[in-house]
Chains A and B, each alone.
Chain A
């Protein structure tokens, strides 16, 4: 049965309204302040350490993103941690909020499909995150110019723009998850708690659990341990389990793009390095190819989670 009219009718209206709501909301302001201050702290440390060793580095600007100076993690690691928080903050009450305000049936009685509402909300939240991340990106470039005094090279700009794009995809996964939970749970508080629980589990607990699980699935051969080496089978299992977390995918992709000397992601086998000049940077295109599977993984995760919310939302009763 074909539906009449376009499923996207009204989507731009929803998008504009939601975007305006997000940008003027106190919630968004708080999230932004949190991210900006944490990021500034990380950048401050990074700039300090970079100014001290002024060794020739063709990718000085990129080092701003990745350098970590104890006790602070790097700028990228901080974003890996905080982007999910921002996405959850914008998505956890997307659908149930309309139910609870009793606006849903009034809005859906207008000549639009539910698709327009869900898509408009998703894109508006993603755009909000995109705008914040773009502002942060400009901040990093600006600070680099001012304090390091080096104009960024074109390859550096290209790599940092890839960073921006992947960061937005990464936000997309968490946003879809938050919106899915906002469709499943009628209470916004429950949706927020479950989202935050999943976030903590995947960013904090999973990196510790994955090696233990890998050990259980593929116990390390004691002969490797005698040689002081890791069993490659266990290492591969650890890696694959870690990759179930979007956090890990984001970090791997960032490693490939922002640290041009990265030649491979995951456990490195000697044959992969044959013929490689250690420490020589990979060309831009090859770095992107290296980060490609991880990026696709993030996009796929976004689409799958969004599809689930879509199906659920289509079947949901509109009445409160």
Chain B
């Protein structure tokens, strides 16, 4: 029975049920359920202090689990931490290196700790540094590295480890926009190789593009989980945001009448934002032409996670007030 099941549906690589971490009386991670599928990029998103790092540390056996259960690649990280840590790569929030050592020496040290055979080490280090674009500074001391270079060196460590799962904690925080884009590109490459990526971030918009699925955290709970378009439909009732820049009488009313449009916001006299179930750009263009207006711009976007998150809490705090009343 079991065997059959495991061949038909691949078991999740990370599986958590009721995972809880308490410090004293306060639960900073409070009964979360997670299933992360092999090969996906999964985002743990939410504001600072929501419990993302604590969740990650429990997956690695680096902090105690108060209750609930978790398995990573089939192992319990509290009982078999070495088995988990041999297969999982971890890039901590604001990662640090030994400043007096070079990039290569830093990787050589962790390479030895990983138990990589001596013969393979140098080759793997070079390969990893090349992948993240640090090969030219391989023999420079890390003291001279920028924040972005350190992040990439941390990623090189995971590449060198040939980890099955890469856990990246706030990988883009503190990076300038260009470094952020480069780093997101590198994460995309990991995914292309079939590595499961779990990343956390408090900047929802920044990472939403590369995440296949996200879990939105709030005060130790996962409030929403799923693919971004799914969540958009669930929370906003729509998966598309179309922005129209046009002049003409009564455009807003016209736009609202298009079938599938759930909401029209007037951003300024000539700018409107529609949320819709489908891509309504052709209908919008027709609507503008119909009132003899002049169309200047038309754009479509996924709804931003920030919007989804904000809206979710708007609705729910309104609900909360009603309950309290």
**A interface with B by C-beta (< 8 Å):** 1, 3-5, 9-10, 13-14, 17, 21, 101-103, 105-113, 317-320
- B82 near A5 (CB under 8 angstroms)? yes
A-chain residues with CB within 8 Å of residue B62 when the two chains form the complex:
105, 108-109, 318
- B110 near A111 (CB under 8 angstroms)? no
Q: Does B99 contact A (CB under 8 A)?
A: yes
- Known contacts: A4-B82, A5-B82. The answer to whether A109 contacts B60 by CB under 8 A is yes
- B96 near A109 (CB under 8 angstroms)? no
Proximity string of chain B (78-111) to chain A, C-beta cutoff 8 Å, 1 when within and 0 when not: 0111110110111111111111100000000110
- A107 near B113 (CB under 8 angstroms)? yes
Nearest-neighbor residue (CB-CB) of A317 within chain B: B63
Of the A-B pairs whose beta carbons lie under 8 Å apart in the complex, a sample of 7, sorted by A's number, is A101-B99, A105-B90, A106-B92, A107-B113, A108-B62, A110-B114, A319-B63
Across the interface, A106 reaches (CB within 8 A) one of B53, B81, B99, B154, namely B154
Nearest-neighbor residue (CB-CB) of B93 within chain A: A319
- A318 near B63 (CB under 8 angstroms)? yes
Across the interface, B96 reaches (CB within 8 A) one of A4, A103, A113, namely A103
- A109 near B92 (CB under 8 angstroms)? yes
The CA-CA distance from A13 to B113 in the complex, in Å, is 7
Secondary structure of the B side of the interface?
A: mixed
Across the interface, A103 reaches (CB within 8 A) one of B81, B85, B89, B98, namely B98
Across the interface, A111 reaches (CB within 8 A) one of B85, B91, B95, B109, namely B85
A-chain residues with CB within 8 Å of residue B93 when the two chains form the complex:
319
The CA-CA distance from A5 to B89 in the complex, in Å, is 19
- A319 near B82 (CB under 8 angstroms)? no
The CA-CA distance from A319 to B54 in the complex, in Å, is 9
A-chain residues with CB within 8 Å of residue B99 when the two chains form the complex:
101
CB proximity of A217 to chain B, nearest CB, Å: 42
Q: How many residues of B contact A (CB 8 A)?
A: 33
- B63 near A4 (CB under 8 angstroms)? no
CB proximity of B57 to chain A, nearest CB, Å: 7
Secondary structure of the A side of the interface?
A: loop
B-chain residues with CB within 8 Å of residue A107 when the two chains form the complex:
110, 113
The CA-CA distance from A1 to B78 in the complex, in Å, is 10
- A17 near B109 (CB under 8 angstroms)? yes
Q: Does B157 contact A (CB under 8 A)?
A: yes
Nearest-neighbor residue (CB-CB) of A13 within chain B: B112
The CA-CA distance from A98 to B100 in the complex, in Å, is 13
B-chain residues with CB within 8 Å of residue A318 when the two chains form the complex:
57, 62-63
- B82 near A101 (CB under 8 angstroms)? no
Q: Does B174 contact A (CB under 8 A)?
A: no
The CA-CA distance from A14 to B98 in the complex, in Å, is 13
- B82 near A103 (CB under 8 angstroms)? no
CB proximity of B148 to chain A, nearest CB, Å: 16
- A110 near B53 (CB under 8 angstroms)? no
Nearest-neighbor residue (CB-CB) of A14 within chain B: B113
CB proximity of A235 to chain B, nearest CB, Å: 51
CB proximity of A5 to chain B, nearest CB, Å: 4
- A320 near B94 (CB under 8 angstroms)? yes
The CA-CA distance from A10 to B62 in the complex, in Å, is 17
Nearest-neighbor residue (CB-CB) of A101 within chain B: B96
B-chain residues with CB within 8 Å of residue A108 when the two chains form the complex:
62
- A1 near B95 (CB under 8 angstroms)? no
A-chain residues with CB within 8 Å of residue B86 when the two chains form the complex:
111
A-chain residues with CB within 8 Å of residue B260 when the two chains form the complex:
none
CB proximity of A188 to chain B, nearest CB, Å: 14
The CA-CA distance from A317 to B64 in the complex, in Å, is 9
Nearest-neighbor residue (CB-CB) of A105 within chain B: B92
A-chain residues with CB within 8 Å of residue B319 when the two chains form the complex:
none
CB proximity of A288 to chain B, nearest CB, Å: 40
- Known contacts: A1-B79, A4-B80, A103-B96. The answer to whether A110 contacts B110 by CB under 8 A is yes
The CA-CA distance from A10 to B116 in the complex, in Å, is 11
- A101 near B98 (CB under 8 angstroms)? yes
The CA-CA distance from A249 to B112 in the complex, in Å, is 40
CB proximity of B234 to chain A, nearest CB, Å: 33
Nearest-neighbor residue (CB-CB) of A112 within chain B: B113
